[in-house]
Amino acid sequence: MLTTSPLAAPQPAAVLTRREQLRNIAVIAHVDHGKTTLVDHLLKQSKVFRDPTAAGELIMDSNELERERGITVFAKNAAIQAGEVKINLIDTPGHADFSSEVERTLSMADGCLLLVDAAEGPLPQTRFVLGLALKLGLRPLVVVNKVDRKDARPAEVVEEVADLFLELAHDPEQLSYPVLYAIAREGRAGPAPDQLAPDLGPLFRAILQHVPPPLVDATGPAQLLVCALDYDPHRGRIAIGRLVRGRLQRGQTIRCLGIDGPAPPVRLAELFVFQGLGRQPVEVAEAGDIVAVAGLPSVAIGDTIADAGTPEALPRPAITEPTVQLTLLPNTSPFAGQDGKAVTSRQLKERLDRELETNVGLRVRPSENGEVGGFVVAGRGELHLAILLETLRREGLEFAVSRPEVILKREAGRLLEPFEEVVITVPQEHLGTVTELVGPRQAILEHMSPDEGRGARLIYRMPTRGLIGLRGALLTATRGTATVTSRFVDYAPMGPPIPRQRNGAVIATETGTATAYAIANAQERARLFVAPGTPVYEGMVVGLNSRENDLPFNIAKEKKLTNVRSSTAEIAVKLEPPFIPSLDQYLELIADDELLELTPKHLRLRKRYLTANEREKAARIAGSSQ
Same domain assignment for residues 210 and 226: no
Task: Evaluate whether residue 103 is within a structural domain.
Answer: yes
Q: Say which residues have a Cβ less than 8 Å from residue 568's Cβ, sequence separation at least 6.
A: none
- Beta strand 111-117 with 22-29 is parallel
- The residues, any chain, with a CB within 8 Å of residue 435's CB and separated by 6 or more, are none
Domain boundary residue, one of 307, 336, 362: 307
Specify whether 31 is located in the same domain as 180: yes
Same domain, 199 and 232: no
Single residue among 181, 215, 249 that ends a domain in this structure: 215
Going by C-alpha positions, the residue among 39, 156, 46 that lies closest to residue 89 is 39
Q: What confidence score (pLDDT) does residue 283 get? A: 92
pLDDT of residue 621: 82
Comparing CA positions, the residue from 434, 419, 450 lying closest to residue 483 is 434
Question: What's the length of the chain?
Answer: 626
- For residue 478, name the pLDDT band (cuts at 50, 70, 90): confident
Give the model confidence (pLDDT) of 496-540 as tens digits: 888 877 889 999 999 999 999 999 989 888 999 999 999 999 999
Q: What does residue 436 show for φ and ψ, rounded to 5 degrees?
A: -65, -35
Residue 34: predicted pLDDT: 81
The angle at the Cα of 99, spanning 98 to 101, to the nearest 5 degrees, equals: 75
Please report whether residue 317 resides in a domain: no
* Whether residue 73 is found in the same domain as residue 156: yes
Side chain identity, residue 217 = D
pLDDT at residue 57 above 80?
no
User: What pLDDT shows up at residue 327?
Assistant: 93
In angstroms, the CA 358 to CA 361 distance is: 9
pLDDT at 11 over 60: no
Please give the single-letter amino acid code of residue 298.
Answer: S
**DSSP H stretches of helix in 55-172:** 64-69, 99-105, 124-135, 154-168
Residue 72's pLDDT is: 76
Number of domains the chain contains: 4
Q: Cβ-count burial of 358 within 10 angstroms (0-12 exposed, 13-18 middle, 19+ buried)?
A: middle
Tell me the average pLDDT across 93-115.
86
User: For the chain, what is the mean pLDDT?
Assistant: 86
CB 358 within 8 A of CB 78: no
Q: Give the type of residue at 200.
A: L
Residues 174 and 42 reside in one and the same domain: yes
**Is residue 251 in some structural domain?**
yes
In DSSP notation, 134-147 reads HHTTPEEEEEEE-T
Residue 343 carries which side chain, given as an amino acid letter?
A: V
CATH number of the domain that 447 lies in?
3.30.70.240
Answer yes or no: is 7 within a domain: no
Torsion of CA 25, 32, 124, 452, to 10 degrees: 120
Residues 449 and 511 in one domain: no
Tens digit of each residue's pLDDT (9 = 90 or more) over 343-377? 888 999 999 998 888 888 889 999 887 667 789 99
Q: Is 187 in the same domain as 44?
A: yes
How sure is the predictor about 155, in pLDDT bands with cuts at 50, 70 and 90? very high
Domain endpoint, select from 189, 215, 241: 215
pLDDT digits (tens, 9 = 90+) for 557-616: 988 776 666 555 544 668 889 999 889 889 888 988 999 999 999 999 999 999 989 888
**Does residue 150 surpass a pLDDT of 70?**
yes
Average pLDDT of span 464-470: 86
Q: What is each CA distance from 473 to 477, 501, 589, in whole angstroms?
A: 6, 9, 10
* pLDDT at residue 31, rounded to an integer: 79
Domain assignment of residue 128, yes or no: yes
User: Are the C-beta atoms of 164 and 133 separated by less than 8 Å?
Assistant: no
- SS3 of residue 301 by DSSP: coil
Query: Positive or negative, the Cα torsion across 178, 42, 77, 267?
Result: negative
Find out whether 320 and 100 touch, Cβ atoms under 8 Å: yes
Q: Assess if residue 379 is contained within a domain.
A: no
Q: CA–CA separation, 510 vs 508, rounded Å?
A: 6
- pLDDT confidence of residue 569: 52
**Which range marks the domain in which residue 47 is found?**
16-215
Whole-number percent of the chain with pLDDT over 70: 92
Outline where DSSP puts E strands in 259-386: 261-262, 266-267, 270-275, 278-281, 284-286, 290-294, 304-307, 324-330, 363-366, 375-379
Instruction: Read off φ and ψ for residue 582, nearest 5 degrees.
Output: -80, 175
Same domain? For 201 and 230 the reply is no
- The secondary element (H helix, E strand) that includes residue 303 is none
Q: Is the pLDDT of residue 217 over 80?
A: yes
| Amino acid found at 45 | Q
- Whether the per-residue pLDDT at 458 is higher than 80: the answer is yes
Confidence of residue 51 (pLDDT cuts 50, 70, 90): low
Lowest mean pLDDT among 285-289, 374-378, 450-454, 618-622: 450-454
Asked if 309 and 221 touch (Cβ cutoff 8 Å), the reply is: yes
Q: Are residues 149 and 78 in the same domain?
A: yes
Pairing of strands 540-545, 505-508: antiparallel
- Inter-helix orientation angle 154-168/124-135, to 10°: 50
Q: Would residue 345 count as lying in a domain?
A: no
- The CATH number for 195's domain is 3.40.50.300
> Which residues lie across from 180 on neighbouring strands?
143
Task: Evaluate whether 248 touches 291 at the Cβ level (below 8 Å).
Answer: yes
Closest CA to 7 of 212, 265, 338, 249: 265
Q: What is the pLDDT of residue 572?
A: 61
Quickly list DSSP for 557-595.
--PPP-SSPPTTTTPPPPPPPP----HHHHHHH--TTEE
* 229 and 206 belong to one structural domain: no
For the chain, what percent of residues have pLDDT higher than 90?
38
Closest-CA residue to 326 (of 383, 257, 250): 383
In the DSSP assignment, the letter for residue 153 is: -
Same domain, 182 and 288: no
Q: At what angle are helices 201-210 and 35-45 packed, to 10 degrees? A: 100
* Whole-Å CA distances, 238 to 82, 113, 144, 225, 316: 28, 27, 36, 13, 18
| Residue-wise pLDDT tens digits, 183-193 | 988 989 999 99
Specify if 197 maps to a domain.
yes
Is the CB of residue 551 less than 8 Å from the CB of residue 507? yes
Point out the least confidently predicted range of 66-75, 378-387, 532-541, 561-570.
561-570
Q: Are 426 and 471 in contact (CB under 8 A)?
A: no
Decide if pLDDT at 67 tops 80: no
| Neighbour tally for 257: CB within 10 Å | 25
Pair (20, 143) in one structural domain: yes
Phi-psi category of residue 65: left, alpha or beta, with phi > 0 → left and psi -120 to 50 → alpha: alpha
Q: Which helix (H) or strand (E) holds 458?
A: strand 455-463
Look up residue 66 and give its amino acid: E
Q: Tell me the whole-structure pTM to 2 decimals.
A: 0.85
